[in-house]
Chain A
């Protein structure tokens, strides 16, 4: 009899947890959608607040990757280089396979340059150059694009001896080797 009660209690508990989880997942999706809408409307401050709220309240959400990238972007735009460096470093460690990784490295490279951290600049340069091994048989260059949660367009163009980064079609960084 006692065993039966225990089983029922366990089932109820699991049910409650599932209900709650479902509720949270819906919430983080809503927050993410709102943040994107704000970004598309050009309200990046509000978008940033939603993304930050998403990260704080739903650290395991499937949107944390985008939220992290957006927060890094926002800090950089706001010239808060200390926080930007921290966010981009975490992003590079947490999402090594992200499509946004080259651009996270690009931002961190720029921040390291602003902060005159020569050894970090050198390290990041190596990392960026070593991201891809490329062959140019008939083409002069190869490019990769990425659209960020703050709705900024990123483009990376590899040449045989340099790599260029564009943000919203404007040259942001060039690394020659």
Chain B
């Protein structure tokens, strides 16, 4: 039996399907015709909202509620943003019933652009963007950004990309999101710009481990509240919470980081003529985003931040946190106008842990006023270090202060940063002395590309001479290890009296070389020499001049005076001292150790004509052989600085004198001198001989 009913139903279904298909086709075709005709209107509408030229290749309607936009680009010539594919989802129901277009979702696939141009655009239109976001209808929406690539630059030092994925869902009052961001840096192995048409050289890539993030919260009144914002990377973990209410932004949380972590570098050899994105070869690896807590060496706890956002002004009412248990606080104002203006007060320390108290540092304060524009930082400020009272094996500093004027930092070729400084007034004080160093017209280049080691080359005017140097900083440990080499040229020694008071009595041109290192121990060493100068009332020679009636010693002209020096936690010293002058030769070393302990051996040669000036030496000269042109006294000093012991060391002169002087006279001289010394040391214990 033939089932007419079934046949009938099949026909109905077929007809209905055909009708639906025809309607869908009609709607699709008419929709596409409408969109195609409206393309220019849409482009004009988008252009009206922003100043950049907009281009869209095609807009296609996909039933039932999708619009596919291909080849959208913004900015000409050289678009700063290109979005090859965009899928827009809208509410069909509202379009039919309310005849209004309601966006319910948008997915942007593989957008790419120029980071710096986009940054400028966002910065320049920051307020307009905020206003636009505020005007958006409060409705459920899902925004997705997949495979964003922002080019950082194509120069040798800054070649690379920022890549990101982003997902935002708003449903009712709740909002949530997630994504990742990573930076891929290209290191050209040979000098030269990375140009698309130039012959390409081998290079390596630091892939940049992805920073993953997720957040959830809710919208409230005129702001939002984030219940949890989690940031995760293999060397970084942060959890933050807080929100925006009106203009007040409040944030709390904590951060863990491993600053010694080294990102993997992949050598990629590319030869021939590359395409623009040839080196951009891989997606971020699916590495674990969990941090190894045992390797954490940098932690920020108890973050408490409150900002008052009155754009373009941001008032930092307080930003407090513990950096490795050292309290830090920041206050001040930031203005995001055309030029970013900073007026900040930073305070660091003291450390809370007993172990770190022994590090000697009590407090660091930084007051800075600066501007930031076009990757250039300009500012002046005062950096002040306070130290805990001197302890054994710690730098004997009380205070250290850097007063800097007209500091300029140029980030345009980051990670190579140029620095200029109009004036640096460095002063430090110890328990007993104050020191001051003035530098002018300082120029420096910081090389930050290496993950662990940072380098700086610098030069400046140094009083009437100049100074040049370089330094290396190892940031793998919480306390940076610095090693530096500095060269000083043609400085009038007398002008360095603020650096070391003894220079006030030294005249001549000084050249020197010094090495500063903070690891394994803090130390400064080097060598200095002074040409064609003189010593005027130099303390040691002045004492000799007064004591032995040798007036010529009050002014000693010399052709060259030189000495090596070393300052460490164990003390300071002059080594290999040498003074060449017509009537005086001095050689030896003088070391001042902990607790002012002196250790010194010196040789002092005085010519006969000079000694003949003094009636005290007349008899002595008669005793020594006429073969001697000069009398050389070798002596040793030891003991505590203000009551040094003195020993006349063996020498030809001493031997000759001893041969000529009877023993009892030797003993008498010895007693007389000791008595004279005891006369000027009244606190001596009187011991029987």
Residues of A within 8 A of B684 (CB): 131-133
CA distance A97 to B682 in the complex (A): 12
Expressed in whole angstroms, the Cα–Cα distance for A131 and B678 within the complex equals 11
The residue in chain B whose Cβ has the minimal distance to the Cβ of A139 is B670
Map CB proximity to A onto B648-689 as digits: 1 under 8 Å, 0 otherwise.
100000000010000000110110011001100100111111
Would A137 and B673 be within 8 Å (CB), given that A131-B685, A144-B687 are in contact? yes
A118: nearest chain-B partner, CB-CB = B392
- A136 to B635 Cα, complex, angstroms: 10
Contacting B at CB under 8 A, from A126-155, are: 126, 129-139, 142, 144-145
A85 within 8 Å of B (CB atoms) = no
| CB atoms of B640 and A129 under 8 A apart | yes
Q: A72: CB under 8 A from chain B?
A: no
Across-interface contacts of B124 in A (CB, < 8 A): none
A138 & B643 in contact (Cβ 8 Å cutoff) = no
Q: Would B687 and A102 count as touching, CB distance under 8 A?
A: yes
In the complex, B638 has a CB within 8 A of chain A: yes
Determine the chain A residues whose CB is within 8 A of the CB of B636 once the complex forms. Answer: 160-161
CA distance A130 to B639 in the complex (A): 7
Q: Could you tell me how many residues of chain B have their Cβ less than 8 Å away from some Cβ of chain A?
A: 29
B266 on the A face (CB < 8 A): no
Residue of B nearest to A123 (CB): B595
Which one of B639, B658, B673, B688 contacts A144 once the chains associate, using CB atoms below 8 Å? B688
Expressed in whole angstroms, the Cα–Cα distance for A134 and B685 within the complex equals 12
Say yes or no: A132 contacts B599, CB within 8 Å: no
Q: How far is the CB of B658 from chain A (nearest CB, A)?
A: 7
Q: Residue A111 at the B interface, CB < 8 A?
A: no
Residue in A closest to B661 when the chains form the complex, CB atoms:
A138
Bound-state CA distance A3–B684 (Å) is: 55
Known A-B contacts A133-B645, A161-B636; the reply to A97 vs B687 at CB < 8 A is no
Residues of B within 8 A of A177 (CB): 597, 599, 638-639
**Would A134 and B677 count as touching, CB distance under 8 A?**
yes
Do residues B677 and A135 form an inter-chain contact, with CB atoms below 8 A?
yes
Contact B687 A136 (CB under 8 A): no
**Of the candidates B595, B599, B647, B688, which one forms a contact with A136 in the assembled complex, judged by CB atoms under 8 Å apart?**
B647
> Is there a chain B Cβ closer than 8 Å to A122's Cβ?
yes
- For chain A, give the interface size range: 20 to 34
Given contacts A126-B640, A160-B636, contact A134 B645 (CB under 8 A): yes
CB-CB under 8 A from A131, the residues of chain B are 684-685, 687
Specify which chain A residues have a CB less than 8 angstroms from the CB of B547 in the assembled complex: none
In the complex, chain B residues whose CB is within 8 Å of the CB of A160: 636, 638, 645-647
Cα–Cα distance between A99 and B685 once the two chains are bound (Å): 8
Tell me, in angstroms, the Cα distance from A9 to B248 when the chains sit together.
94
Tell whether A97 pairs with B685 under 8 Å between CB atoms, given A134-B674, A135-B670, A161-B636. yes
- Taking CB as reference atom, which chain A residue is nearest B593? A177
Q: Chain B residues near A126: list those with CB within 8 A.
A: 595, 640
A101 located at the interface, meaning its Cβ lies under 8 Å from any Cβ of chain B in the complex:
yes
Q: How far is the CA of A126 from the CA of B643 in the complex (A)?
A: 11
Enumerate chain B residues within 8 angstroms of A130, measured Cβ to Cβ. Answer: 639-640, 643
Q: Which chain A residue shows the least CB distance to B680? A: A133
Docked complex Cα distance between A177 and B643 (Å): 14
A161 cross-chain contacts in B, Cβ below 8 A: 599, 636, 638, 645
Given the known inter-chain contacts A160-B647, A161-B599, please indicate yes or no for A137 contacting B670, CB distance below 8 A.
Answer: yes
The CA-CA distance from A144 to B684 in the complex, in Å, is: 14
CB of A106, distance to nearest CB on chain B (Å): 13
Closest approach, in angstroms, between the C-beta of A129 and any C-beta of chain B? 6
Judge whether B273 is part of the interface by a CB distance below 8 angstroms.
no
Q: Which of A70-109 contact B (CB under 8 A)?
A: 97, 99, 101-102
B644 located at the interface, meaning its Cβ lies under 8 Å from any Cβ of chain A in the complex:
yes
Q: Flag B511-528 by CB within 8 Å of A: 1 or 0 each.
A: 000000000000000000
Chain A residues with CB under 8 A of B667: 138
Give, as a whole number of angstroms, the nearest-CB distance from B390 to chain A: 13
1/0 contact string of B37-67 vs chain A (CB within 8 Å): 0000000000000000000000000000000
A97 to B667, CA, bound (A): 26
Closest chain-A Cβ to B319's Cβ sits at a distance in Å of 41
Which one of A99, A136, A156 lies within 8 Å of B646 (CB-CB)?
Answer: A136
Q: Complex formed: what's the CA distance from A156 to B685 in Å?
A: 13
Q: How far is the CB of B396 from chain A (nearest CB, A)?
A: 15
Interface pair A102/B685, CB less than 8 Å apart:
yes
Question: Which of A129, A135, A144, A158 has most B Cβ within 10 Å?
Answer: A135
Within A145-177, the residues touching B (CB, 8 Å) are: 145, 156, 158, 160-161, 177
Q: Which residues of A contact B677 (CB under 8 A)?
A: 133-135
Residues of B within 8 A of A136 (CB): 645-648
CB distance from A9 to the nearest CB of B (A): 47
Q: Do B647 and A122 have beta carbons less than 8 Å apart?
A: no
Nearest CB of chain B from residue A38's CB, rounded to whole Å: 26
A136 to B670, CA, bound (A): 7
The answer for the CA separation of A142 and B670 in the assembled complex, in Å, is 11
Name A133's contact: one of B599, B670, B678 (CB within 8 Å): B678
- Give, as a whole number of angstroms, the nearest-CB distance from A98 to chain B: 9
CA distance A122 to B646 in the complex (A): 22
Report A-chain residues with C-beta under 8 Å of the C-beta of B595.
122, 126
Question: What are the residues of chain B within 8 A of A129 when measuring CB–CB?
Answer: 597, 639-640
Question: Which 9 residue pairs across A and B have the least CB separation, nearest first?
Answer: A160-B647, A136-B647, A133-B643, A138-B666, A144-B687, A161-B638, A133-B681, A134-B645, A135-B646
25 contacts between A and B (CB under 8 A): A99-B687, A99-B688, A101-B685, A129-B597, A131-B684, A132-B684, A132-B687, A133-B681, A133-B684, A134-B639, A134-B646, A135-B670, A135-B677, A136-B647, A137-B648, A137-B673, A138-B666, A138-B667, A142-B689, A144-B687, A144-B688, A144-B689, A160-B636, A177-B599, A177-B638
